[in-house]
Structure 1
């Protein structure tokens, strides 16, 4: 689907964003794209925020338990240090990274690297989440995935928090969140 463009032989990079609500398949899609990169024998580095230890401390793991090895980091600037001699960078749970992540993605793309970023576009209150709006604005390609509303069965793009807690960041899975459509979310 994504073919590296070239201009007079110059290597060009770009930013792809995979976004959506919880349980929409963002991490699954990221893993799928990164596995295809590996099949093509391209050099890849994969990163996730160190705070995300829900399923594994090191691997990126989808809700369907598909996994791929990653490097947990606590600062997006480390990506620039660790992204030496690579063709593709994968970044999961981008909403948990610091304010420099959009600039890091830009710098990587300018270096000729394909950057694939996955993350929640909205938090549990329905507001833009973390640095995702800024990354979306800089993206060359955007894929918005949808879950299925657990209440009515329609397309869901909201992450409904089932337990009372006002913290914006609260790690959890089906025990804490469920996907809902716009109408069921606002009921």
Structure 2
């Protein structure tokens, strides 16, 4: 691969709280690449079972076929010849290893789009998103709508305390939690 072949590689990050439309934006970008007849690989973590294995799905119901993996290190092995865009949903499930994997993919000339939570339910930075944002060519930071007042919400909260409150992910019933477990909140209403 020549230096010119690698010039198109880049990392794009879509970040925000729950219910901000991160997966919808990821699906929109994938769809545009497909319309342009670019080879696409969509990857989800196996913990995201909102619509069953082999699909990424938004809270609003948009879905797209995907490949499910347990670890970030599995992603490069899924990249087939002709792939130009790699889309990764629910980045927070992959942990810090995702940063090196997607950076290496972008370095080979691929466009890599990663979507994930930027904050935990208690308002802390959610790794690896801060690290990914720092090495990305572009970052799209989305907000949701506060469930209390309707303002822009950069946070989400867990509605009920659980024994796993120290677990930032705390999947509900073995899957990614939804509106039954979480609400988007603005800065003013994130504490209650």
- Pick the TM interval, shorter chain: over 0.9
| Equivalence for 2:111 | 114
| Equivalence for 1:159 | 156
Offset of residue 10 of structure 1:
5.0
| Equivalence for 2:191 | 186
**Equivalent residue in structure 1 for 2:76, among 80, 83, 86:** 80
Q: What secondary structure sits across from 1:87 in the alignment?
A: strand
Say if 1:14 and 1:155 are closer, same or farther in 2 by CA, change over 3 A. Answer: same
**What is the alpha-carbon distance in structure 2 between the residues aligned to residue 39 and residue 116 of structure 1?**
17
**Equivalent residue in structure 1 for 2:43, among 44, 47, 57:** 47
Partner deviation per Cα, 1:76-115 (whole Å, 9 max, x = no partner): 1111111132100000000000321000011001000000
**What is the alpha-carbon distance in structure 2 between the residues aligned to residue 77 and residue 95 of structure 1?**
14
| Equivalence for 1:3 | none
| Equivalence for 2:123 | 126
Q: Does 2:45 correspond to 1:57?
A: no
Offset of residue 132 of structure 1:
1.1
Say if 1:8 and 1:170 are closer, same or farther in 2 by CA, change over 3 A. Answer: closer
Extract unaligned runs of 5+ from structure 1. Answer: 1-6
Offset of residue 8 of structure 1:
5.2
How many residues align structurally? Answer: 181
**Equivalent residue in structure 2 for 1:17, among 10, 13, 16:** 13
CA RMSD of aligned residues (A): 1.3
**Equivalent residue in structure 2 for 1:34, among 11, 24, 30:** 30
TM-score (norm 2): 0.90
Extract unaligned runs of 5+ from structure 2. Answer: 172-176
**What is the alpha-carbon distance in structure 2 between the residues aligned to residue 9 and residue 91 of structure 1?**
22
